[in-house]
């Protein structure tokens, strides 16, 4: 069992404070949904946990069990078992998808994976995700459609087997069939050794991947936490009701 513990996290982008004291504790076995209006800091939170250099942590702490995540490079965070499925995956011309995946897998292993085993694992997962097998040999994300990029993030997650996956709007750009395939892939990861933080605007994803915990992030703070009923309320009513709690929406 592992725990990712975020305490009183404050994060700036440039001069602007985006996160204003986030507290969140995720244990393996749990799936946490984060919802909230656009521009309120959801991507900032996931990117800051992974260590994206654009986001500056000004105070607070992030612990992965007894390890101080804020002291670690992005590479070290990945090796420790953190994974970010990005809202806007980067195109990396010149690096093939398969070389990238193999390097990322090897970074988490003592001994490099054999080519035979790598290809077998890659093929199996590409088939399960209903992806075009050519995508493995193309440059990473270059010219991929929105849906292909999202599936490719899930392919990375499946191959890397992280302890904690941070999935940022993994459902955007997916049609109904692709959403089902991706949801099944996430559900197949569920175990006592896997925890997940999922950002999405839509009940459709959370119907397929039922979160154990739901949080609403507004203006850089988690203003409410609960269970699945919060997803349903937001689907029905949007966020206007947040104002009644005395919280301003931008
Ligand atoms: P969400 O994921 O909830 O839609 P984000 O975390 O992406 O929100 O953004 C939170 C805030 O940070 C927004 O006000 C956004 O405009 C701002 N922001 C994000 N990236 C940058 C940047 N590179 N420079 C300045 N502001 C940024
Ligand atoms: Mg957004
Ligand atoms: Mg976002």
Checking if the pLDDT of 38 tops 80, the result is yes
CA torsion sign for 37, 31, 47, 171 is negative
State residue 250's pLDDT score: 67
Ligand 1 close to Cβ of residue 18 (< 6 A):
yes
Nearest CA to ligand 1 atom 19: 13
Are residues 104 and 159 in contact, defined by beta-carbon separation less than 8 angstroms?
yes
Closest ligand 1 atom to Cα of 44: 6
Chain segment 133-157, per-residue pLDDT in tens: 899 999 999 999 889 999 999 999 9
Are residues 11 and 56 in contact, defined by beta-carbon separation less than 8 angstroms?
yes
For ligand 3, the distance from its centroid to the CA atom of residue 59, given in whole angstroms, is: 21
Best residue for ligand 1 mutational test, from 14, 43, 53, 166 (most atoms within 8 Å of Cβ): 43
Using alpha carbons, list the distances in angstroms from residue 204 to 158, 170, 210, 223, 235.
22, 12, 10, 23, 9
The rounded distance, in Å, linking the Cα atoms of 40 and 224 is: 14
Ligand 1 close to Cβ of residue 40 (< 6 A):
yes
State residue 246's pLDDT score: 77
3-245: CATH, from 3.50.50.60, 1.20.59.20, 3.40.50.300, 3.30.1340.10: 3.40.50.300
The rounded distance, in Å, linking the Cα atoms of 183 and 33 is: 14
Helix 115-128, helix 146-160: angle, nearest 10: 130
Chain segment 159-207, per-residue pLDDT in tens: 999 999 999 999 998 999 999 999 999 999 999 999 999 999 999 999 9
Chain segment 71-124, per-residue pLDDT in tens: 999 999 999 999 999 989 999 999 999 999 999 999 888 899 999 999 999 999
For ligand 3, the distance from its centroid to the CA atom of residue 41, given in whole angstroms, is: 7
Nearest CA to ligand 1 atom 13: 39
Model pTM? Answer: 0.95
Domain residue limits, the chain: 3-245
Using alpha carbons, list the distances in angstroms from residue 183 to 57, 128, 151.
32, 12, 10
Best residue for ligand 1 mutational test, from 37, 41, 198 (most atoms within 8 Å of Cβ): 41
């Amino acid at each position: 069992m592992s725990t990712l513990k975020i305490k009183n996290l404050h994060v700036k982008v440039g001069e602007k404070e985006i996160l204003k004291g986030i507290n969140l504790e995720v244990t393996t076995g749990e799936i946490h949904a984060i919802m909230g209006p656009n521009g309120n800091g959801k991507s900032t939170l996931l990117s800051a946990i992974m260590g994206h250099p654009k986001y500056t942590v000004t105070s607070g702490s992030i612990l992965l069990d007894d390890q101080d995540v804020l002291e670690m490079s992005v590479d070290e965070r990945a090796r420790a078992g953190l994974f970010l499925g990005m809202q806007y995956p980067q195109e990396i011309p010149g690096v093939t998808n398969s070389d990238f995946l193999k390097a990322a897998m090897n970074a988490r292993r003592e001994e490099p994976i054999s080519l035979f085993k790598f290809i077998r694992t890659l093929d199996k997962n590409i088939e399960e995700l209903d992806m075009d097998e050519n995508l493995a040999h193309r440059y990473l994300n270059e010219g991929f459609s929105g849906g292909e990029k999202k599936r490719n993030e899930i392919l990375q997650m499946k191959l890397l087997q992280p302890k904690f996956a941070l999935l940022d709007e993994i459902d955007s750009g997916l049609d109904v069939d692709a959403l089902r395939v991706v949801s099944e892939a996430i559900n197949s990861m569920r175990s006592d050794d896997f925890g997940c933080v999922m950002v999405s605007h839509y009940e459709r994803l959370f119907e397929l991947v039922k979160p154990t915990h739901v949080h609403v992030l507004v203006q850089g703070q988690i203003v409410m936490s609960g269970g699945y009923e919060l997803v349903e309320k937001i689907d029905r009513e949007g966020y206007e009701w947040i104002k009644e709690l005395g919280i301003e929406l931008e």
